[in-house]
A and B are shown apart, each in its own frame.
Chain A
Amino acid sequence: MDATTAPHLIPAEMPQYGEANHIFELMQNMLEQLLIHQPEEPIPFMIKHLHRNNDNVPKVIILGPPASGKTTIAMWLCKHLNTNLLSVDNLIVKEFSVLATEARKHYQKTKTVPSMLLIKLMEERLAEEDCIRRGWILDGIPETREQALIIQSRGIIPRHVVLLSALDTVLIERNLGKRIDPYTGEIYHTTFDWPPQSEIQSRLMVPSGISEMETARRLLEYHRNIVRILPSYPKILKVISADQPCVDVFYQALTYVQTNHRSNAPFTPRVLLCGPLGSGKSLQAALLAQKYSLVNVCCGQLLKEAVADQTKFGELIRPYFEKKMAVPDNLVTKVLSQRLDQQDCIQRGWVLHGFPRDLDQAHLMNTLGYSPNRVFFLNVPFDSIIERLTLRRTDPVTGERYHLMYKPPPTIEIQARLMQNPKDSEEQVRLKMDLYYRNSADLEQFYGQAITLNGDQDPYTVFEYIESGIINPLPQRIP
Chain B
Amino acid sequence: RTRTCRTRADWPGQEPEVPCASVPSGKPADRNCVEVPPPNGTVGCWATAARAADGSRVPWSKPSVAPAACPGDLPSRPPPSLPPLRAWRNRCPWHYLHLSDSYDTLVPTCFKAKLHRRRGSPTPDMASALTDGTSRAMNSYTYTSRPRALPCQRRRYRDSLTQSDDEPVRYGNIMYDRRVIRGNTYALQTGQLLGQPDPLELQRLQQAKRRALARKRAQEQLRPRTPEPVEGRKHVDVQTELYLEEIADRIIEVDMECQTDAFLDRPPTPLFIPAKTGKDVATQILEGELFDFDLEVKPMLEVLVGKTIEQALLEVMEEEELANLQTLQHEYEEIRNVELAEVQRLEEQERRHREEKERRKQQQWEIVHKHQETSQKIAARAFAQRYLADLLPSVFSSLRDSGYFYDPIERDIEVGFLPWLMNEVEKSMEYSMVGRTVVDMLIREVVERRLSMYDVKENGLQNLRP
Does A283 lie at the interface of the complex (its beta carbon under 8 Å from any beta carbon of B)?
no
Does A379 lie at the interface of the complex (its beta carbon under 8 Å from any beta carbon of B)?
no
Which chain B residues lie closer than 8 Å to A14 at the CB level?
379-380, 383, 387
Which chain B residues lie closer than 8 Å to A152 at the CB level?
402-404, 406
Q: Chain B at the A interface: mostly helix, strand, loop or mixed?
A: helix
Complex Cα gap A234–B402 (Å): 8
Complex Cα gap A35–B399 (Å): 9
**B379:A232 contact, CB within 8 angstroms:** no
**B390:A266 contact, CB within 8 angstroms:** yes
Does B378 lie at the interface of the complex (its beta carbon under 8 Å from any beta carbon of A)?
yes
**A157:B402 contact, CB within 8 angstroms:** yes
Contacting B399 at CB < 8 Å: which of A10, A32, A264?
A32
Q: Which residues of A from 3 to 45 have beta carbons under 8 Å from B? A: 6, 8-11, 14-15, 18, 23-24, 27-28, 31-32, 35-36
Binary flags per residue of B381-400, CB closer than 8 Å to A gives 1, else 0: 01100111011111101110
Complex Cα gap A135–B181 (Å): 119
Does A155 lie at the interface of the complex (its beta carbon under 8 Å from any beta carbon of B)?
yes
Complex Cα gap A36–B374 (Å): 36
Complex Cα gap A32–B395 (Å): 6
Which chain A residues lie closer than 8 Å to B280 at the CB level?
none
CB distance from A436 to the nearest CB of B (A): 38
**A28:B379 contact, CB within 8 angstroms:** no
Which chain A residues lie closer than 8 Å to B401 at the CB level?
234-235
Which chain A residues lie closer than 8 Å to B153 at the CB level?
none
Which chain A residues lie closer than 8 Å to B387 at the CB level?
14-15, 18, 23-24, 265-266
**B404:A153 contact, CB within 8 angstroms:** yes
Which chain A residues lie closer than 8 Å to B27 at the CB level?
none
Q: Which residues of B from 351 to 401 have beta carbons under 8 Å from A? A: 371, 374-376, 378-380, 382-383, 386-388, 390-395, 397-399, 401
CB distance from B120 to the nearest CB of A (A): 99
Q: Which residues of B from 82 to 103 have beta carbons under 8 Å from A? A: none
Q: A1-B371, A149-B411 are in contact. Are A266 and B386 (CB under 8 A)?
A: yes
CB distance from B98 to the nearest CB of A (A): 109
Q: Which of A15, A235, A264 has most B Cβ within 10 Å?
A: A264
**B415:A32 contact, CB within 8 angstroms:** no
Does A263 lie at the interface of the complex (its beta carbon under 8 Å from any beta carbon of B)?
yes
Which chain A residues lie closer than 8 Å to B392 at the CB level?
31
CB distance from B276 to the nearest CB of A (A): 127
**B406:A9 contact, CB within 8 angstroms:** no
Complex Cα gap A14–B379 (Å): 9
**B411:A24 contact, CB within 8 angstroms:** no
Q: A6-B375, A149-B411, A153-B406 are in contact. Are A264 and B394 (CB under 8 A)?
A: yes
Contacting A263 at CB < 8 Å: which of B374, B394, B404, B415?
B394
Contacting A27 at CB < 8 Å: which of B374, B378, B391?
B391
CB distance from B87 to the nearest CB of A (A): 116
Complex Cα gap A149–B376 (Å): 47
Which chain A residues lie closer than 8 Å to B382 at the CB level?
8, 10
Contacting A28 at CB < 8 Å: which of B376, B386, B395, B403?
B395
Q: Which of A31, A36, A265 has most B Cβ within 10 Å?
A: A31
Binary flags per residue of A394-434, CB closer than 8 Å to B gives 1, else 0: 00000000000000000000000000000000000000000
Q: Which residue of chain A is the closest to B372 with respect to CB atoms?
A: A6
Complex Cα gap A157–B403 (Å): 8
Q: A149-B415, A152-B406, A266-B387 are in contact. Are A10 and B394 (CB under 8 A)?
A: no
CB distance from B254 to the nearest CB of A (A): 139
Q: Which residue of chain A is the closest to B379 with respect to CB atoms?
A: A10
Which chain B residues lie closer than 8 Å to A264 at the CB level?
390, 393-394, 397
Q: Which residue of chain B is the closest to A155 with respect to CB atoms?
A: B404
**B379:A15 contact, CB within 8 angstroms:** no
CB distance from B369 to the nearest CB of A (A): 14
Q: Which of B388, B391, B399, B402 has most A Cβ within 10 Å?
A: B402
**A8:B378 contact, CB within 8 angstroms:** yes
Which chain A residues lie closer than 8 Å to B402 at the CB level?
152, 157, 233
**A8:B379 contact, CB within 8 angstroms:** yes
Binary flags per residue of B402-422, CB closer than 8 Å to A gives 1, else 0: 111010000100110000000
Complex Cα gap A8–B411 (Å): 50
Q: A1-B374, A6-B375 are in contact. Are A24 and B391 (CB under 8 A)?
A: yes
**A1:B375 contact, CB within 8 angstroms:** yes
Which chain A residues lie closer than 8 Å to B388 at the CB level?
24, 27
Complex Cα gap A36–B396 (Å): 11
Complex Cα gap A27–B387 (Å): 11
Binary flags per residue of A234-247, CB closer than 8 Å to B gives 1, else 0: 11000000000000
Q: A9-B379, A11-B379, A149-B411 are in contact. Are A35 and B395 (CB under 8 A)?
A: yes
Q: Which residue of chain A is the closest to B393 with respect to CB atoms?
A: A264
**B391:A8 contact, CB within 8 angstroms:** no
Complex Cα gap A155–B379 (Å): 36
Which chain B residues lie closer than 8 Å to A28 at the CB level?
391, 394-395, 398
Binary flags per residue of A263-296, CB closer than 8 Å to B gives 1, else 0: 1111000000000000000000000000000000
Which chain B residues lie closer than 8 Å to A31 at the CB level?
391-392, 395
Which chain A residues lie closer than 8 Å to B399 at the CB level?
32, 35-36
Q: Which residues of A from 212 to 254 have beta carbons under 8 Å from B? A: 232-235
Complex Cα gap A28–B390 (Å): 10
CB distance from B138 to the nearest CB of A (A): 101
Complex Cα gap A369–B147 (Å): 100
Complex Cα gap A149–B406 (Å): 10
Q: A24-B391, A27-B388, A152-B404 are in contact. Are A32 and B383 (CB under 8 A)?
A: no
Q: Which residue of chain B is the closest to A263 with respect to CB atoms?
A: B394
Q: A1-B375, A8-B378 are in contact. Are A15 and B383 (CB under 8 A)?
A: yes
CB distance from B400 to the nearest CB of A (A): 11
CB distance from A412 to the nearest CB of B (A): 59
**A8:B390 contact, CB within 8 angstroms:** no
Q: Which residue of chain A is the closest to B411 with respect to CB atoms?
A: A149
Q: Which residue of chain B is the closest to A266 with respect to CB atoms?
A: B387
Q: Which residue of chain B is the closest to A261 with respect to CB atoms?
A: B398
Complex Cα gap A148–B411 (Å): 12
Which chain B residues lie closer than 8 Å to A11 at the CB level?
376, 379
**A232:B403 contact, CB within 8 angstroms:** yes
Binary flags per residue of B205-228, CB closer than 8 Å to A gives 1, else 0: 000000000000000000000000
Complex Cα gap A40–B392 (Å): 20
Complex Cα gap A10–B381 (Å): 9
Which chain B residues lie closer than 8 Å to A32 at the CB level?
395, 398-399
Complex Cα gap A32–B394 (Å): 10
Complex Cα gap A157–B414 (Å): 21
CB distance from B355 to the nearest CB of A (A): 30
Which chain A residues lie closer than 8 Å to B395 at the CB level?
28, 31-32, 35
Q: Which residue of chain A is the closest to B375 with respect to CB atoms?
A: A8
Q: A153-B403, A266-B386 are in contact. Are A1 and B378 (CB under 8 A)?
A: yes
CB distance from A34 to the nearest CB of B (A): 9
Complex Cα gap A27–B392 (Å): 10
Which chain B residues lie closer than 8 Å to A9 at the CB level?
379
Binary flags per residue of A137-165, CB closer than 8 Å to B gives 1, else 0: 00000000000110011010100000000
Q: Which residue of chain B is the closest to A152 with respect to CB atoms?
A: B403
CB distance from A20 to the nearest CB of B (A): 13
Complex Cα gap A233–B399 (Å): 12
Which chain A residues lie closer than 8 Å to B391 at the CB level?
24, 27-28, 31
Q: Which residue of chain A is the closest to B388 with respect to CB atoms?
A: A27
Which chain A residues lie closer than 8 Å to B406 at the CB level?
152-153
Which chain A residues lie closer than 8 Å to B411 at the CB level?
149
A-B residue pairs, 6 tightest by C-beta: A152-B403, A264-B394, A157-B402, A14-B383, A10-B383, A31-B395
Q: List 21 A-B contacts (CB under 8 A).
A: A1-B374, A1-B375, A6-B375, A8-B378, A8-B379, A10-B383, A14-B387, A15-B387, A23-B387, A24-B387, A24-B390, A27-B388, A27-B391, A28-B391, A31-B391, A148-B403, A152-B403, A153-B403, A153-B406, A157-B403, A233-B402
Known A-B contacts: A24-B391, A148-B403. Give 15 more (CB < 8 A). Answer: A6-B371, A15-B383, A15-B387, A24-B388, A27-B388, A28-B395, A28-B398, A31-B395, A32-B399, A36-B399, A149-B403, A149-B414, A157-B402, A264-B390, A264-B393
